[in-house]
Every structure is written in C-alpha cells, then in structure tokens.
Amino acid sequence: MQLLHFKKQLKKHKKSFTSERKQIFLLAQKMQHFSAQELFEALKEKSKISRMSVFRTVQLFEQIGVLRKVITNSNAVRYELNTEENHHEHMQCSVCGQIIEFPDNSLHNQLEKIAEKHDFKIQEHSLFLRGLCKKCNH
C-alpha cells in the first residue's frame, strides 16, 4: 500500500491525516509481521508518541483496512500492511517462530470453488500453517 492509497483510505473513513498516523504508516511499510508493541518500541526513540496512541492507531488502521491481522496460534497479534496486489498467506515455525509467506493464487481459486458449492460469498480469508522450518526440521 502506498502513501497515496493510505490517505484515500483515511479520507474515505473521515479520519484526518495526522503526522502521527503518517509516521506509523511509514514504519509499517518498512516492517513485516509486526506487533503493536514492536511498532511502539521502534517509534519511541524518535518521537514522544505514547504507547496508548500507537495501540489505538493500529486498531484504527485495522478497522479501515490499512492493516490486516496475521493470524498465528500464539498469543501475540501481528499485523502487516493490507496489500491487495500482493496477497499471501503465512506459515510459522513452531520452534524458531520464523514466519514464511507464500502466495495463494491457485488456492484462492480453489476456495472460490468450494464456497460456490455452498452458495457462499467469501469476503475475506486467511490461512495459517504451523510446522517446522527447514532449519528446525533437521
């Protein structure tokens, strides 16, 4: 997601484009699969932003579709920018915790077919695999 799209998204939901929101967005662009806490840690060195407002902003971003939750089985909720152009799913190693992304183009078609059989319209989906990565499997 580009900055321009981000601005549009805010406008669409009648939210203003503040410097705090911009800061958080730009940081989210650079990080992958981050938690709100990690965002806060990265920000607090350069700005006076409070933990509370980082958490609130992350929540807002999720509501307006700027961020999406990365579903993992662990308690830590992680997020990533919602990039329609680059839809992918995740698998996580249960030993080292590394998260691996994989594209799901062909899976997506499969899911559409399954849903169709049930006369079901998919609005969103996410797939999460847990297992052992190459390194930890040896």
- Considering only 95, 107, 114, 115, the residue that binds Zn ion (CB under 5 A) is 95
- Considering only 101, 108, 111, 127, the residue that binds Zn ion (CB under 5 A) is 101
For residue 4, which amino acid is it? L
* Cα radius of gyration rounded to whole Å, the chain: 17
Q: Which is nearer to Zn ion, 43 or 93 (CB)?
A: 93
CB 46, min distance to Zn ion, A: 25
Q: How many angstroms separate the Cα of 54 from the Cα of each of 19, 21, 47, 124? A: 12, 9, 11, 25
Does residue 80 touch Zn ion according to CB under 5 A? yes
Which x/- pattern, by CB under 5 A, does the window 47-66 give for Zn ion?
--------------------
Q: Where are the alpha helices (DSSP H) in 19-138?
A: 19-30, 36-44, 51-63, 105-117
Sites of contact with Zn ion (CB under 5 A): 80, 93, 95-96, 101, 133, 136
